[in-house]
Structure 1
Amino acid sequence: MVDGNAPTEAPVPEEDSGKEDSLSAKLAVLSDQLLRLQAEFDNYKKRTAKEKEAVSLAAEAKMMQRMLPIYEEISIAEKEAQKIPDQAVRKGIALVLSKLRSSFEKDGLQEMKLVGEKFDPFRHEAAMHELSDQPEGTIMNVIKKGYLFRGEVLRHAIVSISSGKKAEENAKKEGEK
């Protein structure tokens, strides 16, 4: 049923139909380009945000590396202050060290706990081997502390590791008896 009030479409001349198809094709191309440009811009924003975060993290790590010697000197001062009879000085140094340690931990710095762990060349530097009853490659002593910053090695720990030979020597001695 046809509504008598509805306007009727006039037949479109052949020439106008070609223009319409051409405009539709151009619109499709431009729409596609717009979508690609929007996606490219979104990727750019994500990439620059990641780069900004990486630069910020690198700057923080560098600052932590600069602060580590100061932190360690204060730690040594705290141990040496135990020899001083002035309790106020000891408490003051302990307070400074405690606040510095707390601040570092909040920012993501962790001291590596190593004695008894297995040697890991990605986290540790072996300075010497020790004869020991411990299995070969077990960390025996920490010569210089190592630190992690947000899960990444900030400074490798310098350690001495077990050569495991003492256990072998004891086994040989018992075998000879």
Structure 2
Amino acid sequence: MQEPNTPSEVTANETAVNDGKVNDGTEATGVGANEARIAELEAALEEAKAQVLYVKAEGENIRRRAMDDIDKARKFALEKFSGELLAVKDSLDAALVVESADVNSYKSGVELTSKQLLSVFEKFNIAEINPVGEKFDPNKHQAISMVPAEGEPNTVLSVLQKGYALNERVLRPALVTVIQAQ
């Protein structure tokens, strides 16, 4: 027959049960708590995965919309400029259909069309590069030849073809002849 537990053994057993453990060291109520905690963590993980997928999809949508906007900007970047040039083209076409005009009327028509084109250039910040008498600048000018002449060496003597700059960036350098050093 087994003797009843001594008071010190009873206190130890009660403490073990109160800690969630039985005499043999296994958990009595902790198993259910751990399973609940695991289920809770798994749910949080699934929610985090869903949020990551949402953020990833949102990022892809933003990237796609940005690419569409860039494509549209490329396609229609010259729309205003092109519309302004159409008026110049209309003036040239009108000059070609006139049959009974003299040279002076053609000349004045071409001058008006040239002014119209220059006004379009001004509107879109396209500037002429016409460097007669200026110091040769290889960033804005392209020397076609050097000729001996009176004047300071490396100065532009004449312009064979004007250059153009868009917002101070050279579109086409001016073709020039330069005074040669003697």
TM-score bin (small chain): 0.5 to 0.7
- Matching residue within 50, 54, 67 for 1:34: 54
The equivalences for 1:133-172 within 5 A come to 133-136=151-154, 138-163=155-180, 165-166=181-182
- Gaps (5+ residues) in structure 2? 1-31, 93-101
Matched residue, 1:45: 65
Contact 1:147–1:153 (8 Å) recurs in 2: yes
Shift in Å, 1:154: 3.2
Matching of residue 22 in structure 1 with residue 42 in structure 2: yes
The one-letter code of the counterpart of 1:106 is: K
Q: Distance in 2 between matches of 1:154 and 1:58?
A: 15
Q: Distance in 1 between matches of 2:123 and 2:115?
A: 12
Q: Distance in 2 between matches of 1:28 and 1:141?
A: 72
Shift in Å, 1:41: 3.4
* Structure (1 or 2) with the larger CA radius of gyration: 2
Matching of residue 126 in structure 1 with residue 143 in structure 2: yes
Tell me the secondary structure at the aligned position of residue 46 of structure 2: helix
Contact 1:129–1:162 (8 Å) recurs in 2: yes
Q: Tell me the percent identity.
A: 20
Q: Distance in 2 between matches of 1:144 and 1:123?
A: 12
Shift in Å, 1:48: 4.2
> When the two structures are aligned, how many residues end up with a matched partner?
134
- Gaps (5+ residues) in structure 1? 1-11, 74-82, 167-177
The equivalences for 1:110-125 within 5 A come to 110-115=127-132, 116-120=134-138, 122-125=139-142
CA deviation map 1:112-140 (0-9, x unaligned): 132304322x543221012353243x333
Contact 2:130–2:174 (8 Å) recurs in 1: no
**Alignment TM-score, normalising by the size of structure 2:** 0.53
Q: Distance in 2 between matches of 1:159 and 1:145?
A: 8
Q: Distance in 2 between matches of 1:107 and 1:45?
A: 28
Tell me the secondary structure at the aligned position of residue 158 of structure 2: strand
**Alignment TM-score, normalising by the size of structure 1:** 0.55
Contact 1:114–1:142 (8 Å) recurs in 2: yes
